[in-house]
Structure 1
Amino acid sequence: MKELLEGDLLTLTVQDTVLLALEHNSSLTVERFKPSIAQTYEMEEQGAFDPVLSGELSYSGGGSASGSGLTTAGVTVPFPTGTEVGSEVNISAGEDVSLGVSIDLSQELLKGGRRDANLARVRQAELSRFSSEYELRGFTEALVASTETAYWDFFSSGLQVDIYREGLRLADQQLLEIRERVSVGSIPGIELVAAQAELALRREALLDAESRFEEFRLRLLHLLNLPIDSLWEIHIKP
């Protein structure tokens, strides 16, 4: 942005304007976080089907040589189908060492026995993430469109100001010529009144054009939202 700003004059093309709006628009910054937040909810719901590890270690007998210890480790894996598989390993150490392994398999038949029902919350979180992504895309496209429109409105209003200024200059010049011709009697005095009325109309039209130009300048600066203290004092050169 520094290369575009010289003093209080900001030189912009339509591409520069769109890029600055995308970079500094605070509402877009908030919208960008929403898909990531929705994704965390989706991961949280998917966590219901993550493996669950468990373990236990016990020892009895104090410091005597006849003491015994028991180590238990297990893992349980739930599936969206309602199936749950568990495995457990037991190691007992005393005078003898023994090893035991068990595998459990269970299947829900009624409640929790349908895959679609078990995945309902996951699908809901997934749809919420998709929705937030489309909302971000739509918001970005709308911001780009409104920024381009604001730029061309500002550009065309500047051209209109130039046109009305030239029209005012010509009307003023015409008034001088008519005043001279009236003074020498070549045309009636009523022509002077008409020229003065035309000059007043041109002056009013110029004021309206300058007002629209200022309105479009402020609207464009609002969309850009540049981190500048004297933002509203910035003049824009297309």
Structure 2
Amino acid sequence: MTKLSVNINKLATLRNSRGGNAPDLLKSAKDIESFGGQGITIHPRPDERHIRYQDAYDLKDIVSTEFNIEGNPIPKFMEMVLAIKPTQVTLVPDAEDAITSNAGWDTIKNKDFLIDVVDTFKANGIRTSIFVDPIEEMVEGAKEVGTDRIELYTESYAKSFSEGNKKSIVPFANAAKVANDLGIGINAGHDLSLDNISFFKEHIPNLLEVSIGHALICESLYLGLENVINMYLHRLQ
């Protein structure tokens, strides 16, 4: 079964909008796990517009499933991850002012930099994943870097699927085949939803984990968080 890691960035956005502590991020993480969520994902950004760096430290002793921290490995981010030692760190090349992640790593151009970062995290017992576009050469480059896993950046799939183009799965299936052949674990995330997750899962062999936040929280406004988490778990079986 593919694991569901719930990204709680949007809950932090809601909390920050009023300046208080509602919703309570720590309680939310506990509740998500009790509802069946198999991991908690956060993506702190330098401006702390949703997840704050302190949230990451506070969640360290709260998350009892898998704790996945995403972000660009700038010095402050690396210092935080090394102090917390989450289950997994997902390296994302987002600019400091990016609204959301919008591209995967060029694992060939950034090979030396990524090798240093991956080696540092792995030496500290932290599983590493690299955010990549569904391009076979980028997957091969990730293997050269030494990462444990890749996370396929799925925005293009989600957009095309919503327009009725199921052929958009092809580059993802091809990239997954390369990853499987090379012995790299496969994660996926970005704009995956209840509408498109089953088809994606069916065509990506050995999909280990999906990280879903924005769509899951939006769907929960109508259907309830506990119900939506179990709907995802059913589709990922």
Higher relative contact order (CA 8 A, sep 6+): 1
Please identify the structure whose Cα radius of gyration is greater.
1
TM range (shorter): under 0.3
More helix by share: 1
TM-score scaled by structure 2? Answer: 0.22
TM-score scaled by structure 1? Answer: 0.22
